[in-house]
Amino acid sequence: MFWIMRPRRFYGVTLVTSSILFFGSQTLMGQAGQVDQDSNPVSVPEQQSEPSDQKLSGSSPQLSKNLGYFWLPLASSVIPGLGQLAHGEYVRAGSYTGLYLLSQHHLDQSKEEFMQFRKSSEWASMTQLERENEYVHGDMARKVSYAAQVRLLTRSFSAWETFRASLPSLQASGKFTFIKDDDSVSDLAMAPFQFDFLKRKTTWIPLAIGAALYYYSAVLVPQVNTAVSTDPLTGADTLYTLGTSWNAGTHEEMAFRGWLMPMLMEQTGDPISSNLISGALFGGAHLNHIDAPLFQISLGWYLGWVTIRNQWRLSEAVFIHAWWDVFALLVNYQTRNTKLEGSANMLPLMLPPLKIVF
């Protein structure tokens, strides 16, 4: 209840809690697969090797060969922690499942609070524009949105990590050999704060375009168009922007460039086709916010190209995605009291956080 009554602390504490749970569980079970391999000695009598091989065939590596790159990650995207449980990583499984249940609890509470607010006299006295803003930018609406984002984040993290944990076994059987470098959960969680990426043209050029569009939308347009009004940012705006951008930058890249695109690459053998398909699906996933997400498709293709260029590592794409969202959300908040038809919100800068409901 304390978080519900204090929105700024809700965003900050939830973000910190998410990070602690992910970082804390990252290293506890990290050596399980290596121990499993090291426990099979190579200099044993021939008659003893057969039982060892039989034991291995029923363990996590064999499970990875059969299920690891599609069905088990897909199941983990519905029930976070399931893939980690199947691989015997019980601490991580509990972390994902616990965070999912916690976010679901806060989502239910926030929805109930919002429903009660909509029955109040304050809501009845609002104008239509004020109600529209409350649906998108109000504290209670943002609490609902953020709890839903954290819930979705656990799904994507769990699915992606299930897939990546299966890679050694899959590559040993000749699959996904095009993935040369490995990421970790902590690598991607910290990627939005790796500002060394700004030294790369592939990073600073798109973000410079985003910054220019932000300046045009939030500064220049209001100066020449009196129909567009601007509002000062609040502390809650800033916290929500940072938390939402971190969530979207990490989990969307894990889902589309970290899992879907490699699966398509394995099936088609063509990086161009896999990028085109995954980028189109990425744009299509934003149809619940935008009627024609052509810019989102284009950005998805660019982030896919960056990922392939980096030998399928996601960190740079996560950085670009997260900070692009920062620009987009700040524009929305600074022009929140302007009708969408006449405001800078209609610019292609908008890249709202993905929402998927099972």
Q: Is the pLDDT of residue 212 over 50?
A: yes
What is the rounded average pLDDT of the residues 302-317?
Answer: 96
CA–CA separation, 104 and 281 (whole Å): 26
Alpha carbon of 19 to those of 12, 109, 157, 188, 246: distances in Å? 11, 22, 12, 11, 11
pLDDT digits (tens, 9 = 90+) for 39-70: 333 333 333 333 333 332 333 444 445 466 88
Of 148 and 355, the structure prediction assigns the larger pLDDT to 148
Q: From the centroid of its chain, how far is CA 356?
A: 11
Q: How many CB atoms lie within 10 A of CB 46?
A: 6
| 148-185 burial: b if 16+ Cβ within 10 Å, else e | bbbbbbbbbbbbbbbbbbbbbbbeeeebbeebeeebeb
pLDDT band at 193 (very low <50, low <70, confident <90, very high): very high
> For residue 199, which amino acid is it?
K
16-20, 28-32, 235-239, 274-278, range with the lowest pLDDT:
28-32
CA–CA separation, 13 and 16 (whole Å): 5
- pLDDT at residue 115, as a whole number: 92
Q: How many CB atoms lie within 10 A of CB 16?
A: 11
DSSP state of 356: -
| 83-97 burial: b if 16+ Cβ within 10 Å, else e | bbbbbebeebbebbb
Of 200, 146, 149, 176, the C-alpha closest to 315 is: 200
- pLDDT at residue 152, as a whole number: 93
Q: Which residues contact 218 (CB under 8 A, 6 or more apart)?
A: 230, 330, 331, 334, 335, 344
Of 315, 91, 90, 94, the C-alpha closest to 185 is: 315
CA–CA separation, 114 and 144 (whole Å): 8
> For residue 238, which amino acid is it?
T
Mean of all residue pLDDT scores within the chain: 78
Instruction: At 37, give phi and psi (nearest 5°).
Output: -70, -45
pLDDT digits (tens, 9 = 90+) for 281-299: 998 887 766 667 788 899 9
Alpha carbon of 174 to those of 37, 130, 166: distances in Å? 18, 57, 13
- pLDDT at residue 68, as a whole number: 65
Alpha carbon of 292 to those of 217, 224, 350: distances in Å? 20, 27, 12
Q: Is the pLDDT of residue 304 over 70?
A: yes
pLDDT band at 138 (very low <50, low <70, confident <90, very high): confident
Residue 311 structure tokens: 């030998």
Q: Which residues contact 221 (CB under 8 A, 6 or more apart)?
A: 228, 343, 344
pLDDT digits (tens, 9 = 90+) for 87-133: 899 999 999 999 999 999 999 999 999 999 999 999 999 988 788 88
